[in-house]
Amino acid sequence: MRLAVATIASAVGLKGHVRLKVATDDPAARFVPGALLLTDDGELTVADVRSDGKSWQVAFKGHEDRTAAEALRDVRLYIETDNEDAYEDEFFYHELLGLPVVDTAGRELGSVKRIQAMPGHDLIIVETARGEVMVPFVSELVPEVTQSGVVVDPPRGLFDDDAEEVRP
């Protein structure tokens, strides 16, 4: 299984470095010189790494100048993993993308567009016919997540306009 570990954000400097939007819990282990990272169109080999502990910048073999680095913008980087260490109820966020979202009664509400990391808890961004709906990714509102879909127990009015008017 492919696991997304980063997306290339932008070129930095003149020597081919790019800034990464990191999507892994261990960037120091993933981004080392010589590491092979998969892309949708092939693979890239890490030539150099710079980090200040908060952000990560890498250069890839064959992309030694700014022009070549700019061409990599928005490229997703992956590793191959067998996910043997995961527990039965664990999943990677990228596995949820595109899954149907239903309420506890089975009514289809939309599909998972993305997961947004937040300080207190993450949000599931659900694409509906009316636009995006943000659902806090907490067990009270998301009681079940499977490989076939996400079940939510939303408060009244989150996905529809039939909520009772609240009066002071």
Does 76 share its domain with 140?
no
What pLDDT is attached to residue 85? 54
Domain residue limits at 19: 2-80
The residue with greater pLDDT, 97 or 57, is 57
In a domain, 126, yes or no: yes
The Cα 26–Cα 23 span in angstroms is 9
For the ranges 8-17, 77-86, 159-168, which has the lowest average pLDDT?
159-168
Does 103 share its domain with 140?
yes
Q: Does residue 168 carry a pLDDT above 60?
A: no
Burial class (CB in 10 A: 0-12, 13-18, 19+), 68: middle
pLDDT 10s digits, 22-42: 887 788 888 999 999 999 999
- Looking only at the bridges linking them, the beta strands covering 123-128 and 131-136 are antiparallel
The Cα 143–Cα 150 span in angstroms is 8
| pLDDT tier for residue 166 given thresholds of 50, 70 and 90 | very low
**One-letter amino acid identity for 79?**
I
In a domain, 53, yes or no: yes
Domain count, the chain: 2
